[in-house]
Amino acid sequence: MTGLESLFSIIRVEGWIAIGIIIFFGILLLLSYRAGGIGPSSLKTLISLKLAMFITAILVFGASILLLQYVLAFFEFSLEGMIYLTTIFIVFFMFFQWLFSPKFINAIYKVDIIKAPTNRDEEWLVHKIRELSSASGLKNPPKVGIARGLKIPNAFAYSSPIYGMHVAVTPSLLDNMPKDELEAVLAHEVGHLKHKDVVAMLAVSFIPILIYYLGRHLMFLSVFGYGARDRDRGGGAAYLMIIALILILAGILFQFLVKHFNRLREYYADAHSAITLRNTRSMQRALARLDLMYKNIKARAPDLTPSNNVISMLFIYSSFIDFFYDPVDTYVEELKKKKTSWLMELLSTHPPIPKRIRFLDRLGL
Protein backbone atom coordinates (compact mmCIF):
# COMPACT_ATOMS: atom_id res chain seq x y z
CA MET A 1 0.00 0.00 0.00
CA THR A 2 1.46 3.35 -1.03
CA GLY A 3 1.56 6.34 1.26
CA LEU A 4 -1.25 8.00 -0.72
CA GLU A 5 -3.45 4.89 -0.47
CA SER A 6 -2.77 4.75 3.27
CA LEU A 7 -3.83 8.38 3.60
CA PHE A 8 -7.06 7.64 1.70
CA SER A 9 -7.71 4.68 3.98
CA ILE A 10 -7.38 6.85 7.08
CA ILE A 11 -9.69 9.49 5.62
CA ARG A 12 -12.28 6.86 4.75
CA VAL A 13 -12.28 5.65 8.35
CA GLU A 14 -12.76 9.23 9.49
CA GLY A 15 -15.66 9.55 7.07
CA TRP A 16 -17.44 6.56 8.63
CA ILE A 17 -16.71 8.00 12.07
CA ALA A 18 -18.35 11.25 10.96
CA ILE A 19 -21.47 9.38 9.87
CA GLY A 20 -21.43 7.53 13.20
CA ILE A 21 -21.21 10.84 15.06
CA ILE A 22 -24.23 12.18 13.17
CA ILE A 23 -26.30 9.07 13.92
CA PHE A 24 -25.20 8.96 17.57
CA PHE A 25 -25.89 12.65 18.17
CA GLY A 26 -29.25 12.40 16.39
CA ILE A 27 -30.32 9.49 18.62
CA LEU A 28 -28.98 11.27 21.71
CA LEU A 29 -30.85 14.43 20.75
CA LEU A 30 -34.13 12.57 20.24
CA LEU A 31 -33.75 10.68 23.53
CA SER A 32 -32.91 13.88 25.39
CA TYR A 33 -36.06 15.62 24.21
CA ARG A 34 -38.14 12.58 25.14
CA ALA A 35 -36.65 12.33 28.62
CA GLY A 36 -36.24 16.07 29.20
CA GLY A 37 -32.76 15.37 30.51
CA ILE A 38 -30.22 16.80 28.10
CA GLY A 39 -30.54 20.15 26.38
CA PRO A 40 -31.81 23.63 27.28
CA SER A 41 -34.45 22.40 29.75
CA SER A 42 -31.76 21.22 32.18
CA LEU A 43 -29.26 24.07 31.75
CA LYS A 44 -28.67 25.70 35.12
CA THR A 45 -26.11 28.37 34.36
CA LEU A 46 -25.01 30.59 31.51
CA ILE A 47 -21.71 28.72 31.45
CA SER A 48 -23.46 25.47 30.60
CA LEU A 49 -25.53 27.29 27.96
CA LYS A 50 -22.38 28.63 26.31
CA LEU A 51 -20.82 25.17 26.54
CA ALA A 52 -23.86 23.65 24.82
CA MET A 53 -23.56 26.19 21.98
CA PHE A 54 -19.85 25.47 21.63
CA ILE A 55 -20.33 21.69 21.52
CA THR A 56 -23.14 21.99 18.96
CA ALA A 57 -21.01 24.22 16.72
CA ILE A 58 -18.04 21.84 17.00
CA LEU A 59 -20.25 18.87 16.12
CA VAL A 60 -21.59 20.65 13.04
CA PHE A 61 -18.15 21.74 11.84
CA GLY A 62 -16.27 18.56 12.77
CA ALA A 63 -18.74 15.97 11.49
CA SER A 64 -19.51 17.85 8.26
CA ILE A 65 -15.83 18.40 7.41
CA LEU A 66 -15.07 14.72 8.04
CA LEU A 67 -17.96 13.78 5.77
CA LEU A 68 -16.58 16.00 3.01
CA GLN A 69 -13.16 14.39 3.44
CA TYR A 70 -14.74 10.97 3.06
CA VAL A 71 -16.49 11.96 -0.16
CA LEU A 72 -13.26 13.37 -1.58
CA ALA A 73 -11.36 10.22 -0.68
CA PHE A 74 -14.07 7.96 -2.11
CA PHE A 75 -13.76 9.64 -5.50
CA GLU A 76 -9.97 10.04 -5.17
CA PHE A 77 -10.30 13.83 -5.17
CA SER A 78 -11.68 13.87 -8.75
CA LEU A 79 -14.54 16.07 -7.48
CA GLU A 80 -12.27 18.57 -5.77
CA GLY A 81 -12.91 21.18 -8.45
CA MET A 82 -16.67 20.84 -8.09
CA ILE A 83 -16.43 21.28 -4.33
CA TYR A 84 -14.40 24.44 -4.83
CA LEU A 85 -16.93 25.82 -7.33
CA THR A 86 -19.87 24.94 -5.09
CA THR A 87 -18.08 26.50 -2.12
CA ILE A 88 -17.47 29.72 -4.04
CA PHE A 89 -21.14 29.84 -5.09
CA ILE A 90 -22.43 29.27 -1.53
CA VAL A 91 -19.98 31.80 -0.06
CA PHE A 92 -21.01 34.43 -2.62
CA PHE A 93 -24.73 33.77 -2.11
CA MET A 94 -24.57 33.83 1.72
CA PHE A 95 -22.24 36.85 1.79
CA PHE A 96 -24.49 38.76 -0.61
CA GLN A 97 -27.54 37.81 1.45
CA TRP A 98 -25.83 38.96 4.65
CA LEU A 99 -24.65 42.28 3.20
CA PHE A 100 -28.00 43.31 1.71
CA SER A 101 -30.47 41.50 4.00
CA PRO A 102 -31.62 44.68 5.82
CA LYS A 103 -32.59 46.20 2.48
CA PHE A 104 -34.59 43.10 1.52
CA ILE A 105 -36.22 42.77 4.96
CA ASN A 106 -37.24 46.42 5.03
CA ALA A 107 -38.83 46.08 1.60
CA ILE A 108 -40.60 42.75 2.22
CA TYR A 109 -42.02 43.68 5.63
CA LYS A 110 -42.52 47.38 4.82
CA VAL A 111 -40.32 48.53 7.68
CA ASP A 112 -40.50 52.29 8.26
CA ILE A 113 -37.25 53.40 9.88
CA ILE A 114 -37.93 56.01 12.58
CA LYS A 115 -35.73 58.95 11.68
CA ALA A 116 -37.74 61.51 13.64
CA PRO A 117 -40.40 60.19 16.06
CA THR A 118 -43.90 61.42 15.24
CA ASN A 119 -45.70 60.22 18.39
CA ARG A 120 -45.09 59.17 21.98
CA ASP A 121 -44.87 55.47 21.17
CA GLU A 122 -42.13 56.07 18.62
CA GLU A 123 -40.30 58.40 21.02
CA TRP A 124 -40.46 55.76 23.74
CA LEU A 125 -39.30 53.06 21.33
CA VAL A 126 -36.26 55.01 20.11
CA HIS A 127 -35.34 56.09 23.65
CA LYS A 128 -35.67 52.56 25.02
CA ILE A 129 -33.54 51.02 22.25
CA ARG A 130 -30.81 53.57 22.94
CA GLU A 131 -31.01 52.88 26.66
CA LEU A 132 -30.86 49.11 26.23
CA SER A 133 -28.04 49.37 23.69
CA SER A 134 -25.97 51.42 26.13
CA ALA A 135 -26.67 48.97 28.95
CA SER A 136 -25.66 46.10 26.63
CA GLY A 137 -22.36 47.69 25.70
CA LEU A 138 -23.15 48.42 22.04
CA LYS A 139 -21.10 51.33 20.69
CA ASN A 140 -23.89 52.53 18.42
CA PRO A 141 -27.61 51.93 18.92
CA PRO A 142 -29.42 50.07 16.14
CA LYS A 143 -31.87 51.76 13.82
CA VAL A 144 -35.46 51.35 14.97
CA GLY A 145 -38.34 50.58 12.62
CA ILE A 146 -42.03 49.71 12.50
CA ALA A 147 -42.77 46.62 10.38
CA ARG A 148 -46.10 47.68 8.91
CA GLY A 149 -46.19 44.75 6.50
CA LEU A 150 -46.66 42.22 9.31
CA LYS A 151 -50.07 41.95 10.94
CA ILE A 152 -49.01 39.58 13.70
CA PRO A 153 -47.34 40.69 16.97
CA ASN A 154 -43.62 40.25 16.51
CA ALA A 155 -40.19 41.83 16.84
CA PHE A 156 -36.92 40.97 15.16
CA ALA A 157 -33.31 42.09 14.89
CA TYR A 158 -31.08 42.02 11.81
CA SER A 159 -27.82 43.59 10.68
CA SER A 160 -25.12 43.85 8.05
CA PRO A 161 -21.79 45.68 7.65
CA ILE A 162 -23.29 47.94 4.99
CA TYR A 163 -26.66 48.90 6.50
CA GLY A 164 -25.83 48.50 10.19
CA MET A 165 -27.96 47.07 12.99
CA HIS A 166 -31.76 47.18 13.01
CA VAL A 167 -34.56 46.34 15.43
CA ALA A 168 -38.13 46.29 14.13
CA VAL A 169 -41.45 45.78 15.88
CA THR A 170 -44.91 45.31 14.42
CA PRO A 171 -47.72 47.79 15.15
CA SER A 172 -49.78 45.09 16.88
CA LEU A 173 -46.95 44.41 19.33
CA LEU A 174 -46.31 48.09 19.99
CA ASP A 175 -49.99 48.89 20.51
CA ASN A 176 -51.03 45.89 22.59
CA MET A 177 -48.13 44.87 24.83
CA PRO A 178 -47.52 46.64 28.16
CA LYS A 179 -44.38 48.73 28.18
CA ASP A 180 -42.49 46.65 30.76
CA GLU A 181 -43.04 43.50 28.71
CA LEU A 182 -42.22 45.27 25.45
CA GLU A 183 -38.98 46.48 27.05
CA ALA A 184 -38.07 42.86 27.80
CA VAL A 185 -38.75 41.88 24.18
CA LEU A 186 -36.58 44.77 22.95
CA ALA A 187 -33.78 43.73 25.32
CA HIS A 188 -34.04 40.22 23.83
CA GLU A 189 -33.61 41.62 20.32
CA VAL A 190 -30.71 43.85 21.38
CA GLY A 191 -29.20 40.68 22.85
CA HIS A 192 -29.24 39.07 19.40
CA LEU A 193 -27.26 42.05 18.07
CA LYS A 194 -24.89 42.04 21.05
CA HIS A 195 -24.17 38.32 20.52
CA LYS A 196 -23.83 38.77 16.72
CA ASP A 197 -26.29 35.96 16.14
CA VAL A 198 -26.69 36.71 12.44
CA VAL A 199 -22.98 36.05 11.87
CA ALA A 200 -23.01 33.02 14.19
CA MET A 201 -25.90 31.40 12.34
CA LEU A 202 -24.30 32.07 8.95
CA ALA A 203 -21.07 30.45 10.11
CA VAL A 204 -22.71 27.36 11.61
CA SER A 205 -25.08 26.79 8.68
CA PHE A 206 -22.45 27.28 5.94
CA ILE A 207 -21.00 23.74 5.70
CA PRO A 208 -24.38 21.95 6.03
CA ILE A 209 -25.71 24.09 3.17
CA LEU A 210 -22.57 23.30 1.17
CA ILE A 211 -23.06 19.56 1.75
CA TYR A 212 -26.71 19.71 0.69
CA TYR A 213 -26.03 21.59 -2.55
CA LEU A 214 -23.01 19.44 -3.33
CA GLY A 215 -25.31 16.43 -3.09
CA ARG A 216 -27.74 18.06 -5.49
CA HIS A 217 -24.96 18.79 -7.97
CA LEU A 218 -23.69 15.20 -7.77
CA MET A 219 -27.20 13.90 -8.38
CA PHE A 220 -27.45 16.14 -11.44
CA LEU A 221 -24.14 14.74 -12.75
CA SER A 222 -25.18 11.15 -12.10
CA VAL A 223 -28.26 11.62 -14.29
CA PHE A 224 -25.94 12.45 -17.20
CA GLY A 225 -23.76 9.40 -16.55
CA TYR A 226 -20.77 11.11 -14.96
CA GLY A 227 -18.56 8.58 -13.11
CA ALA A 228 -15.75 8.88 -10.64
CA ARG A 229 -12.22 8.27 -11.82
CA ASP A 230 -11.76 5.12 -9.81
CA ARG A 231 -9.78 2.20 -11.26
CA ASP A 232 -10.94 -0.33 -8.69
CA ARG A 233 -14.70 0.23 -8.86
CA GLY A 234 -16.67 0.70 -12.01
CA GLY A 235 -19.82 1.90 -10.29
CA GLY A 236 -19.63 5.23 -12.06
CA ALA A 237 -22.97 7.03 -12.07
CA ALA A 238 -24.56 4.56 -9.62
CA TYR A 239 -21.90 5.31 -6.98
CA LEU A 240 -22.35 8.99 -7.68
CA MET A 241 -26.10 8.78 -7.13
CA ILE A 242 -25.65 6.92 -3.81
CA ILE A 243 -23.15 9.47 -2.52
CA ALA A 244 -25.42 12.29 -3.73
CA LEU A 245 -28.33 10.88 -1.74
CA ILE A 246 -26.11 10.46 1.34
CA LEU A 247 -24.97 14.08 1.09
CA ILE A 248 -28.49 15.42 0.65
CA LEU A 249 -29.71 13.39 3.62
CA ALA A 250 -26.70 14.50 5.69
CA GLY A 251 -27.37 18.14 4.76
CA ILE A 252 -30.95 17.78 5.98
CA LEU A 253 -29.87 16.06 9.20
CA PHE A 254 -27.28 18.74 9.87
CA GLN A 255 -30.06 21.32 9.65
CA PHE A 256 -31.54 19.81 12.82
CA LEU A 257 -28.26 20.63 14.56
CA VAL A 258 -28.34 24.13 13.10
CA LYS A 259 -31.89 24.58 14.42
CA HIS A 260 -30.75 23.27 17.79
CA PHE A 261 -27.95 25.86 17.78
CA ASN A 262 -30.47 28.59 16.91
CA ARG A 263 -32.72 27.53 19.80
CA LEU A 264 -29.75 27.85 22.15
CA ARG A 265 -29.12 31.37 20.83
CA GLU A 266 -32.75 32.21 21.66
CA TYR A 267 -32.20 31.09 25.25
CA TYR A 268 -29.05 33.21 25.28
CA ALA A 269 -31.03 36.28 24.13
CA ASP A 270 -33.69 35.58 26.78
CA ALA A 271 -30.95 35.46 29.39
CA HIS A 272 -29.53 38.75 28.09
CA SER A 273 -32.92 40.39 28.49
CA ALA A 274 -33.33 39.12 32.05
CA ILE A 275 -29.80 40.09 33.08
CA THR A 276 -30.00 43.55 31.49
CA LEU A 277 -33.32 44.36 33.17
CA ARG A 278 -32.39 42.46 36.36
CA ASN A 279 -35.63 40.52 36.39
CA THR A 280 -37.11 37.53 34.59
CA ARG A 281 -40.81 38.20 35.14
CA SER A 282 -41.22 40.79 32.38
CA MET A 283 -39.81 38.42 29.75
CA GLN A 284 -41.92 35.55 31.06
CA ARG A 285 -45.05 37.69 30.88
CA ALA A 286 -44.15 38.87 27.39
CA LEU A 287 -43.73 35.28 26.17
CA ALA A 288 -47.01 34.23 27.76
CA ARG A 289 -48.86 37.21 26.28
CA LEU A 290 -47.45 36.47 22.83
CA ASP A 291 -48.66 32.90 23.16
CA LEU A 292 -52.14 34.15 24.08
CA MET A 293 -52.12 36.58 21.16
CA TYR A 294 -51.16 33.90 18.66
CA LYS A 295 -53.79 31.53 20.00
CA ASN A 296 -56.34 34.30 19.68
CA ILE A 297 -55.32 34.89 16.07
CA LYS A 298 -55.52 31.19 15.23
CA ALA A 299 -58.92 30.85 16.90
CA ARG A 300 -60.43 33.77 15.00
CA ALA A 301 -58.60 33.47 11.67
CA PRO A 302 -61.25 31.25 9.99
CA ASP A 303 -63.91 33.93 10.65
CA LEU A 304 -61.83 36.80 9.30
CA THR A 305 -62.95 38.46 6.08
CA PRO A 306 -60.62 40.42 3.79
CA SER A 307 -61.89 43.65 5.36
CA ASN A 308 -61.05 42.51 8.89
CA ASN A 309 -57.96 43.95 10.48
CA VAL A 310 -55.91 41.57 12.63
CA ILE A 311 -54.35 44.51 14.43
CA SER A 312 -57.78 45.78 15.48
CA MET A 313 -58.68 42.29 16.65
CA LEU A 314 -55.58 42.18 18.83
CA PHE A 315 -56.25 45.68 20.13
CA ILE A 316 -59.73 44.69 21.33
CA TYR A 317 -58.30 41.54 22.91
CA SER A 318 -55.52 43.50 24.59
CA SER A 319 -57.90 46.20 25.85
CA PHE A 320 -60.08 43.55 27.46
CA ILE A 321 -57.03 42.19 29.25
CA ASP A 322 -55.74 45.56 30.39
CA PHE A 323 -58.93 47.05 31.80
CA PHE A 324 -60.90 44.09 33.13
CA TYR A 325 -58.84 40.99 33.77
CA ASP A 326 -55.29 40.12 32.83
CA PRO A 327 -54.76 36.34 32.76
CA VAL A 328 -51.08 36.58 31.86
CA ASP A 329 -49.66 35.90 35.34
CA THR A 330 -51.90 32.89 35.77
CA TYR A 331 -51.02 31.75 32.28
CA VAL A 332 -47.29 32.04 33.03
CA GLU A 333 -47.72 29.54 35.87
CA GLU A 334 -49.75 27.24 33.62
CA LEU A 335 -47.04 27.34 30.95
CA LYS A 336 -44.36 26.45 33.49
CA LYS A 337 -46.14 23.13 34.06
CA LYS A 338 -47.01 22.48 30.42
CA LYS A 339 -45.32 19.58 28.65
CA THR A 340 -43.87 20.21 25.22
CA SER A 341 -43.55 18.02 22.15
CA TRP A 342 -39.94 16.95 21.55
CA LEU A 343 -40.75 16.39 17.87
CA MET A 344 -42.20 19.87 17.37
CA GLU A 345 -39.19 21.35 19.13
CA LEU A 346 -36.81 19.35 16.96
CA LEU A 347 -38.39 20.87 13.85
CA SER A 348 -38.53 24.42 15.19
CA THR A 349 -35.99 27.26 15.10
CA HIS A 350 -37.27 28.60 18.45
CA PRO A 351 -37.65 26.80 21.77
CA PRO A 352 -41.19 26.17 23.04
CA ILE A 353 -42.44 29.04 25.19
CA PRO A 354 -42.95 26.80 28.29
CA LYS A 355 -39.29 25.75 28.19
CA ARG A 356 -38.15 29.36 27.73
CA ILE A 357 -40.18 30.41 30.77
CA ARG A 358 -38.74 27.57 32.86
CA PHE A 359 -35.24 28.46 31.67
CA LEU A 360 -35.71 32.04 32.87
CA ASP A 361 -36.71 30.70 36.29
CA ARG A 362 -33.45 28.76 36.45
CA LEU A 363 -31.41 31.93 36.03
CA GLY A 364 -32.27 32.75 39.63
CA LEU A 365 -32.58 36.51 39.15
d(CA 212, CA 227) in angstroms, rounded, equals 20
Straight-line distance from the first to the last Cα atom of the chain, in angstroms, rounded to the nearest whole number: 63
Given a contact cutoff of 8 angstroms between Cβ atoms, the answer to whether 136 and 277 are in contact is no
* Marked catalytic residue, from 76, 131, 183, 189: 189
Active site residue 189: yes
Annotated catalytic sites, by residue?
Answer: 189
